[in-house]
Amino acid sequence: MTREKFVVEGLGGAKTLRGAVAVRGAKNAALKCLAASVLFEDTLVCTNVPDIEDVRRMGELLQVAGAEVTTKDGVVRVSPPDFAQATSGKPNSAEATSGKPSAWNTSLDQTIAKRMRASIVMTGPMLARMGEVSFPYPGGCVLGERPIDLFLAGFTALGAKIVEADDFFTVRAPQGLRGAHIFLPIVSVGATETLMFAAALAHGETILENVAMEPEIVAEAELLNACGAHIEGAGSPTLRITGTGGVPLKANGAVFSIIPDRLEAGSFLILAALAAEDVTVTKCEPKHLQAVTSSLARAGVSLEIGTDTIRVRASEKPYQSVSVRTHEYPGFPTDLQAPMAVFLSQCEGDATILETIYDGRFRYAEDLRRMDADMTVMNPHQVLIRGPRKLERANLESPDIRAGLAYLIAAIIAEGTSSVDNAYLIDRGYEHIEDRLSSLGLHIKRESSN
């Protein structure tokens, strides 16, 4: 793969961007809904799916596992192996037409799984559907300690047996999973989704307590319920799931639309606050962005909030610093704290960002200091930011998806021409970002960095 970088002509603090930028479907919802397709006996069709690297990797993971995956114009269709063979009229064996998903490969591809953290969510559907799954320790962005103990403990509670060898796990429940009462010691989006998917096909009732409440989880539960699952309480701290007793779900031709990406929308709002003369973020869900819009409004950003749009116009008054504490939804998203740090570097006064979810997520501070931002990492969970400071050009390298986007925002408001290397990481979460920013009047291009 050719290594690429973004080259950005900074605005030097000027607020000149104009126009509208549409939000794509939520990466975190799309990945998990595609993973949940393993629970289905027929084709799952998802629309408004973002054209990003992580979605392509999830598609590859499903294909290696035996599914048929087709993608066109934001529509992704996933068919289980036996269904794809039966509908094509070309079964590979007698087993392929027996109604059993015997062609599923229950060992997740190690290369793909180690590159993408979201791969672990596929273990729940595979275990529930096939009674067995093998997988490596998952990869993805390095964001401090991200243990999988919650997943393994949940599988054990549901009656599965686990064998570990050299960071490779094999989980078996040949007689099917059994409902259980599970309390998550810490709120985890991934564990909530994975165990919810697993419990959907279990025998009996499962109660999950202290679960995540993200909008993506609500959307996923609605999808499963529309196709035969019985999940109550999505969007609250407790999920009550009545399993189907091993009966797979059925889409029956239904089409599921991925909800708007609140993290992408929040990133665009922060960029607009810093660099827009008049920019409207469209096709978003403002109700999912209240923690972000509230913080920006307190800082003095002019926001006009509509049904599915948010308009940002330049303010004559300087922005005032506001301290931020990341928290599970509905709190301020941890994935937006790096872009918010760039915003706070342009505000008057001192502010802190308190990171309550991950450690090791302030690695971007050193690079932003190279651009003359005044940032001091107080400890692994807190950074102090003093502003305003004019940022200077720099050649940077994306450390992860969200910090990479923060670097682009910093480059946009800086003096001179900057570059952000390792574009692949940004591509993992943001669809054709250079084209969309160019439409607002920014001079940005993609170049080979080799």
Tell me the CA distances in angstroms from 111 to 51, 61, 108, 136, one per residue in order.
Answer: 21, 9, 9, 9
User: DSSP string covering 314-365, please?
Assistant: --SSPPB---EEB-STTSB-GGGHHHHHHHHTTSBEEEEEE--S-SS--THH
H or E segment and range at residue 443: none
- Establish whether 141 is a catalytic residue: yes
Q: Report d(CA 280, CA 434) in Å as an integer.
A: 17
Q: Spell out the SS3 assignment of 236-265.
A: CCEEEEECCCCCCECCCCCEEECCECHHHH
Q: Are 399 and 406 in contact (CB under 8 A)?
A: no
From 33, 46, 141, 347, active-site residue: 141
H or E segment and range at residue 376: strand 374-379
Q: Report d(CA 183, CA 187) in Å as an integer.
A: 10
Q: Report d(CA 408, CA 403) in Å as an integer.
A: 9
Pairing mode, strands 395-397 and 417-421: parallel
Q: Residue written as tokens 């682009």?
A: 408
* Residues catalogued as catalytic: 141
